[in-house]
Structure 1
Amino acid sequence: MKFRYRKLITTGLISAGLAQIASADIIRGQVTDASGEAPLEGAIVRIEGLDRSTTTDRYGDYRFANIPAGEYTVSVSYIGAQPVTETVTVQNEARLDVRVGSDVRYLDNVLVVGSKAAQAGAINQQRASGAIISVIDSDGLGNFPDTTVADSLARVPGLSIETDQGEGRYVSIRGINTDLIAASINGVRTPSPEDRRGVLLDGVPSDLLDGITVQKSLTPNVDADSLGGVIDLKTISAFDRDGRFIRAKLEGAYNEISEQVSPKATLTYSDTFNDTLGVALSVNYQDLAIETHNNETGEWGFLDDGTAFLNDDYEQRWYDLTRQRLGFIANFDWRVSDNTDLYLRTLYNNYEDNEVRNKFEFRDLDDAEDDGVVTANSQTLPLNEMDAEVRQRREVRQIQTYALGGQTDWQAWSFDYEVAYAYAEEDDSDNHDVTFRFEDIQDAAAAAGLADSDVVIDFSNPETPKFSGALLDLVYDPSNYFLDAFEEEETVNEDAEISARFDISRESLIGDTPVEWQAGMKIRDREKTRDANVTFYEADDFNLSPFVGNQLISGWRLANPMPAWPDPDLTSALRNGAGEGFELDEDSTNFDSLAEDFTIDEQILAAYAMGTFDLGPLTLIAGVRMEDTKTDLSGNIFAEEDDPANLVRRNVSNDYTNWLPSINARYAFNDKLIARGAYYAAVVRPSFGEMAPFTAFNDDRDELELGNPNLDPYEADNFDLSLEYYPTELSVLSVGAFYKQIDNAIFPATFEREEDDNGDLVPLSEFLQTVPVDLSYLTPGQLADVEEVTSFINVGSSELYGIEFNYVQSLSDLNPMLEGFLVSANLTLTDSESTLPDGREVSFLKQSETIWNLAVGYDKGPWDLRVSANYRGDYIDELFEEDLDRMTNDRLLVEASAKYKVNDHIQLYLEGKNLTDEPEYYYFGSERRLSQYDEFGTTVVFGARLTY
């Protein structure tokens, strides 16, 4: 790693400058449930008289330093249990272990049984935190029918998800899309297997996790690369419980569309040896069958009278895929002494999609404007071309993280250290895509003697348009289709990061005020590469008929019949140009294989200093973080139909530094009422695909598409206020408001060369002055014919603001007759505003104005029941132009689960996903204008857990 040593030395001096000398008598201990076996995270431990307080970590451990010798009263507060008070005598070092609550036993990798325990765990961690966080306890992951981490996160206040094939994939926090938030596994930043920063969260199975924390306000000791928050996935540790633990889980999932049962299995083992060595292993496997029915359109236009019409294409798509997930965790903890803990955390996850996609496309529907009839609900037009296409795709994604580190306490000092390696890969190396085309349809109609060769498209139901007309008999005859193109792909995206951090902290006093000083530094070295390899073949007079198996897809849900041809098992024989008369399309092959390849090396050196001030009821965490970024970027300059020998490599380097202050305040009016306020500055670097220095000309050299390596990073000032009220033993009612002032937001933009009054193009120099992208590296000859430039640009200031409500309640706290009943609800309202270069004001991409969740449960005796609903409002998915932006429609998902405890070791469960058979719908500007419509069906999950 080529880091600058001067900055490294400066960082070390900042850390060393925090040293103070004072006495260091210590109280340490552990808070557990009444059995002494289950540690409690988030318990508040207070030394009365000294007015010192701290919170327990994931192992239930707590520690006070700089305590004068003497006798003290220590109180422990944990929501869901009665407060406990103990007395301890301090001389050098004292240990006080505290048990709270009633006796419990383990179930499903959690500290106590059922939904109530999960609710208590999440509330306590959120209450005790110095920052604004949301928590999903480990049992919470099992209480909903969630396959993926993204699905679990959809129930957190302020979070919404994007789906793929009906499963949650990407997560948005408070309207901030996935590329502008961060995800980590055990604190290690997770790389992305795609050409972006956003992390796919549908690959990591929720069964491998022990909990999820969403940190919405950042402190200086946290990487500042997030505008919305940080999602941290916490895997299991042997010291999460006492002694040996074994859990086996076996389930099946039945989907009404695929009509298949998909198996899933998880095995978890952990044990501790001599109370010093902990080993935790978990393996998860799933083979999920998915079938999706889809139709979509290319684009819409408007007639002179304002009537909208479909002016591009209409496609029907049938997806049949198996999604295999294999995950493995191996975590090791070694308590070397009372003062030193070491750990090794490893995660390996392999995700494989084996997909068949048949596409049936009605092409060139723009004739409706000149040669057809357009009404509000239909259009009639001559049909000219059809495509029948099949893709067989095998996509393999891997995510791996490895972290070796530890913590050492020495008197009032504490040292944390870690080295980590994270790797992600997306490999599309076994794909083929073949298209057969029916051309000259009007000539074929005349030859067949059809008096009416038009088709009618009925948009009465805009989600599923219906085609009619005598011409369709020819359209559904495969003998009319001939090969247009055969494509093979072997593309690999890789993302690897090596990091190292060192943190030092010390407890001290300023007068009578306890202060914990902390400083540290971190080095991150990341390399992102994209290597596309696409091969195109052409052939003449190659008929579709030999590649037909079944005629139609059975059980098709949409309005028009869906052909089952071409058959991928038959077309696979054409791979590697094996078809008769196949010719390599060198120009298309070269362009798609070379134009957008890139390599990006990103190095970040960070340092921070902060203090945590314990001012009685007020706790302040204040400090500053410095992040110095250096990027080296490399991409290709290439044009369609050019010789690869003329390929030019473009190299760009950038270097910039950000100073990022933050302050988090927590004020406890009493044990039941807590107020919070926070400010933090953040910086998010441009997405890799946006800043990659590729430059691609079309074959006429009049259109130019390029990345923008000179993009400025997003910079944001983030403000939060919240009030939390804990009215009863196991409940919380909270309200929070947030505001984000964001500079340098990045949007795609296209700039077109206008004509002057005489109909001539304006001079090139005048046009280039209107393009806010550096084109100086291109020669006048390369730019001579350019009429359109598409790239990414920064815009000015943007705003995002909103309010969150959250309510969690055990109804037995209100009335003993309602014992066992639980309810939770949250609502988030947001709005945002950005101004594009043309003056148009738009909201942030992927930002829903309204998100809410509601869940009602019953947890008593052997039964654990729950019904939940999740609503996400519509949002802008992609910008085109006013009234034609691609929108994602609102969506309400209803799910339910029922668990029955047979005995202390066996639990049976039944769960339902998407019980109302809710589709996913995208539209262009208005719900009357279809963009994409998908149906996934309802899924029923059944299974059993064995815990020992």
Structure 2
Amino acid sequence: MKKNYLKSYRLKEKLSSLITMVIMLFCFQAVAFPLAEDAVVSGRIKDKQTGEYLIGVNVQLKGTTLRSTTNSEGFFRFSNLPEGRQMLVVTYLGFSNKEVSVNASQTPQELFVELEASTTTLGEVVVTGLRRSQIQSINQKKEALNIREVITANEAGRLPDINVAEATQRVSGVSIETDRGEGQFVSIRGIQPSLNNVTLNNSTLASTRDSRATGLDLLPTEIISSIEVIKTNTPDMEGNAIGGTINVNTLSAFDKAKPFVNFAVDGLVQTQQVDLSGFDNTRAPFRGAVTAGKRFGKNEKFGVVGSANFFRRDFSASILDPDGWEFFNYFYPNEIELQIEDIERDRLGLSADFEYRPSKNSSIYLKSLYTQTKETQLNSEFELTLQIGSARPTNQTPTTGRFVRGSGELDQAFTNEIENLYSYTLGTKNRFGKLSTDVYGTFSRAKTNLNNFDATFENPTATEPSLSSTYDTAPFFFTITPDNIATASDPEIYKLRNLNFTTGLLTENIYEISTDLKYDLNVGKTNAFIKFGGRYRDRSKESDRSRDSYDLSYGGVTIPNANAYSLTPFYFPVSVPSQGGATPFVHGNVNKFKEFVDNPANVNNTSKLVFDKLVTDQQLYLNDFKNSETVTAGYAMGVIDFKKLTIITGLRVEHTQTTSENAVIATNRGVATPSTTIASNNYTNFLPSLQLKFTPIKNFITRASYTNTLGRPNYSDLSGATNLNYTELATPGLFTGSVTLANPGLKPYLSSNLDLAFEYYIPNGGIVSVGGFYKKIQNQIYRISQVQRDIFYDGRQYQQLTFSQTTNADDANLYGMEFSYEQTLIFLPGLLNGLGFSTNFALIDSKVTLPNRPNETLPLFRQANNVYNGALYYQKKGFEFRFATSHRSDFLTQAASPESANVLLAVASGYSVADFDRYDAARTTYDISGKYQFPKKKLSISAQVRNLTNAPEQGYQGVTTRYDRHDLTGRSFFLGLALNL
């Protein structure tokens, strides 16, 4: 698996074919269907006050159900109006209604309509910034055919959050998973991130992670115009969306009424209680962005938008980690790990949008995106371990005890990871009378390079009695205290035991082509359309890692011996304790140690370190996988819009074919023997749907839907190394061993979904909504371990063989309700009419039974039971203030195995297997932001405080009082300037 999976010539060949196909389709349409103007009434709608186009405006032929909705360019179109003079009624929440007279006999006609915010009659209430974003989002939700939430950027092209993941958490039913204080993965309605569909301008986006989950921290908010969180799929959407679809839209020059240039720069200060002076050099953190766009050429048929942004965070993290809790009479921690980290994240984002419109009915476009994230971590981790071998605590009480031996370790780790994400979409949109076509091809590539080392210094076995310790778990931040603190604090007793150098490359390539055809119909005075099309996607993903290992235990060398390298030259004192007052006894300077191991003479000194050939040989394959996947999809759908009822129905069919290359590693008596197998799988899924949108009275909408979606297995579950370890027993020909297997035959998740929602739209631009949902999810995927005895496997007879494999399990049921309320308080007197607020919450529950725990019901992995968000804002006379909070409850991350000896002992004492389950704890964060727009200037100043209460990222085992991880990254303070020209 060390050879390149996709040769460069093959990549270029596929990309060339993709471009050629899109251009040929464009040319074919231009020849087969002349690009002439047909008899239509069209127009654009602007905000009279700001000159910005309005999205989601409803334009309806008076007295009929014939209507149109404005797109991101404020554009609407009718090609089916009755002849003669007609009246169009233009409505938009938060703005005054307007009627426009047209003569449908005189075509084509192009109208220019300006709407005035209804709030302007109250004086200094300006529909910009947060107000404008909220009104646009609500109007787009109102006009949507399905259940969706929309987040729009302000007129300067910015959101109040630092990346797309954090922006999405503001809508109902959405929670995020954070990494070192920054939003990363998105969960919709409690479904794990790998089962969401993430698209950029409706095209599939590659992932830099080793799963199907797309880290949305890679997408800065400066490059986007809107984010759509779509909870109920229509047939023209990708079926791989059990949780939902997150579609990120970038800006087009035709979205703006005039040329624009936006500059923004923020300084950043991050506070943390751990003093890392001298640990690493801190570089000034900041965020800067520029976005510009214009139309040009004759009749402004060409448009271009370019954006560049850079964001550097240089900060520290403090981490406490017990590495699990053990049981003997009572629960006690296995150890205490005290980690300090210095982290620098540098993120560069570049995007460009090019478009050519030879006529009003035709366009060809190229959308491109490139992001790069460089992350460097320096981690020093002190561990004081209580549990050595089969040792048990003495002098026990429910919260205290003593161990007569102890082990101290100091781990040093340096990680350098670079993530690159590319996306290029070439497409053409055309309209021929009542027929609209949208054809596009996408190439997206993700590449992650990993280069790190990790090392462990440990006290020799002979010194373990001098690290005897007592523990006390009564306080939340429990204590472990060695009897001899002076010995535990002596860096000279800690000897280098092992050293590992890891390198790796993770790549994903996606080639995709999609065609959508839409034909508008008239059913009397009723709007309708049919839509059909297809998509083909070629997707490949490969993980290729290796690890050079050095270990004093290899070859029978005493571990660790007195001749080994000691920690003393790299000793680093930390004067300020971690959270809870814990103080490490030793720490190391990672940079000093890196300089040391970068010298080959130090690493190749065989009297100090021994090269571990077995582990090195195994690691050439153990973390590798190689997958290719093709998906061929087709759909047909119809929409009919009666006076009060809209029906959306259709069928999507997707055929999936996968090929997985798996390594097989057989290890016996210190020798690893590799081989390779290739397996394939294919399946076809039929995904029918029916959605109803009912408007019994003005501004009140009821939605009901039945949809079907799927979720494909993660790549590492389909392919990877089969790791067989076996040893011959005293009886010749009889073995004992263990085997970990991949499973290329896994079935996809299948979900049948029911949704019901009630929405009331407040005329001045607010909403009250409540809804419920239910999902029945088949073919759950779990990793199961089981022991088999007296079994013949792979040509050998085993007395005992432990199998571990990811398999499909029983169905799961997930259900919940969502509530949202947003309103601007413009009816209040005087200065108070600048107030507004938004709030939402979701209650979610699920039930699933695991094969190895048949008598229990557990929640789905990574499913939070409740999520809420709230924001109070004030906007008046150029001043804008926002106070926001976001909360998600805890969720299950690991289900314990009932076969573990530790679990069996606890169960025999009256505890349950659930006491060993692991969770991410609940987390609530608060943010404050403010902005001032100078009068009659295009300059603004802003400030923001993120994570105001320094909320930790925390995990626990069984109960919340047994914390399993406690991470602090501190507060972030931003101060910035923006110039919008």
Give the alignment's TM-score, normalised by structure 1.
Answer: 0.90
Letter of the 1:309 counterpart: Y
Pair 1:56–1:299, CA change in 2 (3 A): same
**Which residue number in structure 2 is paired with residue 534 of structure 1?**
547
Sort the Cα spacing of 1:785 and 1:322 in 2 relative to 1 into closer, same or farther, 3 A. farther
Q: Are residues 575 and 610 of structure 1, via their aligned partners in 2, closer, same or farther at CA, if it must alter by over 3 Å?
A: same
**CA 1:815–1:661 in 2, change beyond 3 Å: closer, same or farther?**
farther
Match of 2:950 among 912, 917, 932: 917
**Partners of 1:39 and 1:240 within 8 A in 2:** yes
**Could you say what secondary structure the match of 1:595 adopts?**
coil
SS of 1:647 mapped into structure 2: strand
Which of 310, 316, 322 is equivalent to 2:338? 316
Amino acid of the residue matched to residue 295 of structure 1? L
On the 8 A contact 2:572/2:589 being kept in 1, the answer is: no
Residues 384, 441 of structure 1: 8 Å contact kept: no
Match of 1:808 in 2: 822
Question: Unaligned regions of 5+ residues in structure 2, if any?
Answer: 1-12, 15-20, 121-125, 276-281, 553-560, 728-735, 897-912
**1:639 CA drift (Å):** 3.0
**Residues 754-782 of structure 1: CA deviation (Å, up to 9, x unaligned):** xxxxxxxx4326xxxxxxxxxxxx6232x
> How far 1:70 moved relative to its partner?
2.1
CA contact (8 A) 2:880 2:932 kept: yes
Counterpart of 1:568 in 2: which secondary structure? helix
Shift of 1:368: 9.0
Q: CA deviation at 1:359?
A: 1.0
Aligned partner of 2:845 in structure 1 is 831
Higher mean C-alpha displacement, 125-134 vs 721-730: 721-730
| Paired position in structure 2 for 1:892 | 924
| Equivalences for residues 126-205 of structure 1 within 5 A | 126-139=141-154, 146-205=161-220
Mapped partners of 1:330, 1:374: distance in 2: 66
2:318 alignment partner in structure 1: 293
Q: What is the number of residues matched between the two proteins? A: 895
Q: Secondary structure at the match of 2:146?
A: coil
Matches within 5 A, 1:106-505: 113-139=128-154, 146-257=161-272, 261-273=284-296, 274-304=299-329, 307-310=330-333, 312-363=334-385, 365=387, 370-428=392-450, 430-440=451-461, 442=463, 445=466, 454-462=468-476, 464-505=477-518
Does the Cα contact within 8 Å between 1:293 and 1:558 map onto a contact in 2?
no
Q: Which amino acid letter does the alignment assign opposite residue 199 of structure 1? A: T
Residues in 1 aligned to 2:924 and 2:173: alpha-carbon distance in whole angstroms: 15
Cα distance, 1:139 vs structure 2: 2.4
Verify the 8 A CA contact 1:638 1:647 in the aligned structure 2: yes
1:443 to partner: Cα distance: 5.7
SS in 2 for 1:584: coil
- In the aligned structure 1, how far is the partner of 2:70 from the partner of 2:159? 27
Distance in 1 (alpha carbons) for counterparts of 2:145 and 2:966 = 44
Tell me by how many angstroms 1:576 deviates: 7.2
Partner of 1:662: 689
SS of 2:862's equivalent in the other structure is coil
Equivalent-residue separation in structure 2 for 1:816 and 1:717 (angstroms): 51
Aligned to 1:228, the other structure's residue is in SS state: coil
Q: Look up the SS of the partner of 1:819 in the other structure.
A: helix
* Paired residues of 1:547 and 1:571 also in contact (CA < 8 A): no
The answer (yes or no) to whether the contact 2:235–2:637 under 8 Å persists in 1 is yes
What is the root-mean-square deviation of aligned Cα atoms in Å? 2.6
User: Residue 718 of structure 2 contacts residue 745 of structure 2 at CA under 8 Å; is this kept in 1?
Assistant: yes
1:679 & 1:578 partners in 2: Cα distance? Answer: 67
Partner of 1:723: 758
Q: Which amino acid aligns with 1:52?
A: L
> Counterpart amino acid of 2:58?
I
Q: Is the 8 A contact 1:488 1:575 kept in 2?
A: no
Q: Kindly indicate whether the alpha-carbon contact (under 8 Å) linking 1:145 and 1:895 is maintained by their aligned counterparts in 2.
A: no
Using the alignment, how far apart are the partners of 2:81 and 2:661 within structure 1? 56
Distance 1:834 1:140 in 2: 46
Q: For 2:318 and 2:518, how far apart are their aligned partners in 1?
A: 56
Specify whether residues 373 and 441 from structure 1 end up closer, same or farther in structure 2 by C-alpha distance, changes over 3 A only: farther
Q: Secondary structure at the match of 2:154?
A: helix
Separation in 1 of the partners of 2:772 and 2:663? Answer: 46
Long gaps (5+) in structure 1: 3-7, 106-110, 446-452, 754-761, 766-777
Match of 1:737 in 2: 772
Match of 2:864 in 1: 848
Shift of 1:53: 1.6
**Judging changes above 3 Å, is the alpha-carbon distance between structure 1 residues 907 and 913 closer, same or farther for their aligned structure 2 residues?**
same
Whole-Å Cα distance in 2 between the matches of residues 641 and 295 of structure 1? 38
1:525 is the counterpart of 2:558: no
**Equivalent residue number for residue 10 of structure 2:** none
Counterpart selection for 1:600 from 627, 632, 636: 627
Q: Partner amino acid for 2:55?
A: E
**Cα deviation, residue 511, structure 1:** 4.8
Deviations 1:620-648 (A, max 9, x none): 11100000001011010003468988321
Listed as ranges, the matches of 1:568-579 within 5 Å are 568-575=591-598, 577-579=600-602
2:41 counterpart of 1:27: yes
- Supply the distance in 2 between the matched residues of 1:167 and 1:36 (Cα, whole angstroms): 34
SS in structure 2 opposite 1:117? helix
Residues 884-893 or 560-569, more deviating: 560-569
Q: How far apart are residue 213 of structure 1 and its match?
A: 0.7
The reply to whether residue 929 of structure 1 matches residue 962 of structure 2 is yes
Partner of residue 706, structure 2:
679
Find the aligned partners of 2:667 and 2:47 in 1 and give their Cα distance: 68
Q: CA, structure 1 residues 532+339, in 2 after alignment: closer, same or farther (shift >3 Å)?
A: same
Tell me the CA shift for residue 583 of structure 1: 2.9
Partner of 2:673: 646
Deviation at 1:901, TM superposition (A): 1.0
CA distance in 2 between partners of 1:371 and 1:83 (Å):
77
Shift in alpha-carbon separation, 1:751–1:141, aligned structure 2, 3 A: farther
Shift of 1:486: 0.8
Amino acid paired to 1:491: G
Residue 613 of structure 2 is aligned with which of 569, 586, 589?
586
Match of 1:60 in 2: 74
Distance 1:816 1:852 in 2: 31
Structure 2 residue corresponding to 1:711, chosen from 742, 746, 754: 746
Aligned letter for 1:254?
Answer: V
CA contact (8 A) 1:577 1:584 kept: no
Quick one: distance in 2 between partners of 1:30 and 1:798?
A: 48
Cα offset, 1:672, TM superposition? 1.6
SS in 2 for 1:242: coil
Which of the numbers 597, 606, 617 marks the counterpart of 2:644? Answer: 617
Pairing of 1:776-815 with structure 2 (within 5 A) = 779-781=794-796, 784=798, 786-813=800-827
Give the C-alpha shift of residue 266 in structure 1.
0.5
**Match for 2:454: what amino acid?**
D
1:752 aligns with 2:766: no
Structure 2: how far apart are the matches of 1:151 and 1:644?
Answer: 48
- Amino acid of the structure 1 residue aligned with 2:456: T
Cα distance change, pair 99–565 in 1 and its aligned pair in 2 (3 A): same
Residues 450-472 of structure 1: CA deviation (Å, up to 9, x unaligned): xxx6311222333x322223323
